[in-house]
Amino acid sequence: MLRRLLWYSILLSGLACVPAAASDSPYLTKRQQLMMLAESNPAELTLWKGEELFHEKRGPKNASLEACDFGLGPGVLEGAYVQMPRYFEDAGRVMDLESRIIYCMKTLQGFTEEDAPIARKHSSTTHTADLVALYTYIASQSDGMKWDPPMDHPMERLTRDAGEVLFYRRAGKMDFGCVSCHSEQRKRIRLSYLPSVHQPAEWAKAISWPAYRIGHGVVRSSQHRVRGCYWQMRQAGLNFGSEASIAILSFWTDQARGHVATLPDLKR
Q: What does the binding site for another protein look like in residue numbers (CB under 8 A)?
A: 91-93, 154-155, 158, 161-162, 164-166, 168-177, 179-181, 183, 186-191, 227, 230-232, 234-239, 242-245, 247
- The residue number with the shortest CB distance to ligand HEC is 178
Nearest residue to 203 via CA among 175, 232, 233, 225 = 225
**b vs e for 226-235, b when ≥16 Cβ sit within 10 Å of the residue's Cβ?**
bbeebeebeb
Q: What interhelical angle do 2-16 and 43-55 show, nearest 10?
A: 120
Gap between the Cα atoms of 249 and 259, Å rounded = 16
Q: Residue 259 interacts with ligand HEC (CB under 6 A)?
A: no
Name the residue nearer to ligand HEC (CB basis): 3 or 268: 268
Report how far apart, in Å, the C-alpha atoms of 173 and of each of 140, 239, 244, 262 are: 38, 19, 20, 34
Residues 144-203 contacting ligand HEC, CB under 6 A? 176, 178, 180-182, 189, 192, 194-195
Gap between the Cα atoms of 251 and 245, Å rounded = 10
229 catalytic residue (yes or no):
yes
Using CB distances below 5 to 8 A depending on partner kind, what does residue 36 bind out of ligand HEC, another protein, none?
A: none
- Which of these segments, 6-14, 17-25, 106-114, 224-232, binds ligand HEC (CB under 6 A)? 224-232
Using CB distances below 5 to 8 A depending on partner kind, what does residue 91 bind out of another protein, ligand HEC, none?
A: another protein
Gap between the Cα atoms of 238 and 3, Å rounded = 37
Residues that bind ligand HEC (CB under 6 A): 176, 178, 180-182, 189, 192, 194-195, 206-207, 225-226, 229-230, 232-233, 248, 252, 267-268
